Structure 1
Amino acid sequence: MSGWNTAKRFWKSAAVAETEEGFAVELDARPLKTPAKTPVVVPTRALAEAIAAEWDAQGEQIDPMSMPVTRCANSALDKVAQQHAEVADMLAEYGGTDLLCYRADSPEALVQRQAEAWDPVLDWAAETYGARLKPVAGVMFQGQDADALESLRLKVHEMDNFELAAFHDLVCLSGSLVLGFAAVSDFAPIDELWSLSRIDESWQEEQWGEDEEAQEQAEIKKTAFKNAYLFNRLRKQ
């Protein structure tokens, strides 16, 4: 959508049309296309309506940053669809160094906070996917069980292009493959899952105070995390 940064509105209204492939978005009865000229056809009406609403909400100047659902659909159609296996493998690799597995060795209060917050999610992943990831103390790399990692990798590869596009943001923004799975599975409210990814940062803020610039960046990431979650919810409706 980079080419639209300076583009002006050229349509009056956006609408959804059902097709054999899914649900298309049209601008004044013309098919909406991605930056790579792929027709925007998505799997559910709810997702198509959300994209159409973003285009209807535009002012005289197109603002791509105000269209997170459109941008994620573009990623699914232009990027993930062209390299699904590569994207899935890249995300699956997060399991080997998952945020939830790397624990502090001190102070004891932080060690306990991490265990109380993260152990239930690891337990859920073990029960749900047959993949037991083990927590380790310190920052030195320690390998995880190969069978557990393979189980998670296969689950990532099962995702369609649209789910994988959302999953990409959920995993990369949180730093956790397990939290990504928890988000697409509605294991807990999305705000709670984001907070779980910020245990270490919250601890540091309690000790040393908040950094305004860091807080602003965290809010941007949180919004993107929630947008990815919303995209996946729309994909399933």
Structure 2
Amino acid sequence: MASSMVRKTLQTLNAFALRTVTSTSRHFSFAAEAGTTGQDPSSFTFSSDASEHPKLAATNRDENIYIQGPQKKSPASSSVTMPMSFMTGSIVGKRFYKNVTTREAEDGNGWNVMLDYRTLKTPSKRNLKCPTLALAKAIAAEWEFQQTEGIRPFTMPLMKLACTALERVPVTRPKIIEHLMKKFHQDLIFCHAPRDNDLTKDVRGLQVEKFGPITKWMESEFSFKPVVYTSFFGGKQEQGLVNAIENLLKKMDNCELAAIDAIAAAAHSLVIAIVMFRGRLDIEQAIELIRLEEDFQVDRWGLVEGGHDVDIADLRVQISSAAVFLGLSRKH
């Protein structure tokens, strides 16, 4: 089941990536340099034979895409280090490895991904250690999926989430939770269209039908009834409900919080993220709720190709990858 979910997610990512790569204006620069000073903090480093990777130059340094071989190192000390700008651009260079494998971490606590003999590392040069073998194999599948002519970091969302859980979440937990709670009062699930407007009454009917079971579950689960409002500026939720949600977030491990943060950002809804976390919504149900109003308008006025369809594909990638990451990172 997990492997089929990962395969389906990767197929969706590839289709979306190939469609949008020509329109993206963001560029990804990296250097495969080792033992140099003044190196860009977003550089991509790995051990390699210099003859295999000639340097490519561009006139604009800010948009450089180049590879420069480092001095040779022994296989025992070699690694692959992910850049800080990972997942922010298009094709970053040719595939420099042949085999992708996983192995148990040296301390026996977690699993590593290996590109040939090199241990995959995070932007801060720590071994990328996955809590479960399933997650390590899924990230390995992302790397195996890369084509010979180019590595596409934006098709590796599980890798991005793993780096986030290992490096960003541990040092910014209070800020992440604070940000999530600030948005909680303006949650998508709590906001209904006005009932006294002919243009929005049909939308409101859908929201009552689809959002109603979620708000009822929230009341049953946390013993406080959510406040439903029609203002774009949101409404103040009861402090008891706020405290209950905040305490739930504080109890989450780093992988769970990284996934919740990613889902909430894509969905504009912490509630949807939490309901998915508790296993009460699957990916398709979540996407239906997130796009409820927009899909209503598309049905009425039509779909804009290159706009709505790309947005749908992007949302599907973000929600499904975070949901898959959440499931694979849990120790059963």
Of 89-98 and 149-158, deviating more is: 89-98
What is the CA-CA distance between 1:129 and the residue it aligns to?
3.0
Q: Secondary structure at the match of 2:98?
A: coil
Residue pairs, 1:89-168, within 5 angstroms: 89-105=178-194, 106=197, 107-168=200-261
Deviations 1:11-43 (Å, cap 9, x if unpaired)? 222222223331122222332101221211011
Distance 1:113 1:141 in 2: 19
Cross-structure match for 2:98? 12
2:282 pairs with 1:189: yes
Report percent identity of matched pairs: 28
Q: TM-score, normalised by structure 2?
A: 0.67
Q: Which runs of 4+ in 1 moved over 6 A?
A: none
Asked if structure 2 preserves the Cα contact closer than 8 Å seen for 1:102 and 1:137, the reply is yes
Residues 6/115 of structure 1: CA separation in 2 closer, same or farther (3 Å cut): same
- Secondary structure of 1:83 counterpart: helix
2:269 is aligned, of 153, 176, 183, to 176
Query: What TM-score, normalized by structure 1, do the two folds share?
Result: 0.92
- Is the CA contact (8 Å cut-off) linking 1:126 and 1:133 kept in structure 2? yes
Equivalences for 1:209-220 in 2 at 5 Å?
209-212=302-305, 213-220=307-314
Which one of the candidate residues 21, 34, 39 is aligned to 2:122?
34
Matched-pair contact (CA < 8 Å) for 2:266–2:319: yes
Q: Which has the larger radius of gyration?
A: 2
Over the aligned positions, Cα root-mean-square deviation in angstroms equals 1.8
Could you list the runs of 5+ residues in structure 1 that have no partner in the other structure? none
3-state DSSP of counterpart to 2:205: helix
Shift of residue 70, structure 1, vs aligned partner = 0.9
Whole-angstrom CA distance in 2 between matches of 1:118 and 1:126: 13
Amino acid at match of 1:44: T
> How far off is 1:44 after superposition?
0.8
Task: State whether structure 2 residue 324 is matched by structure 1 residue 235.
Answer: no
Secondary structure at the counterpart of residue 185 of structure 2 = helix
**Aligned-partner SS, 2:121:** coil
Counterpart of 1:147 in structure 2: which amino acid? G
Structure 2 unaligned residues grouped into runs of 5+: 1-82
Greater relative contact order (Cα 8 A, min sep 6): structure 1 or 2? 1
Contact 1:38/1:77, CA 8 A, preserved across alignment: no
Which residue identity is paired with 1:166?
A: A
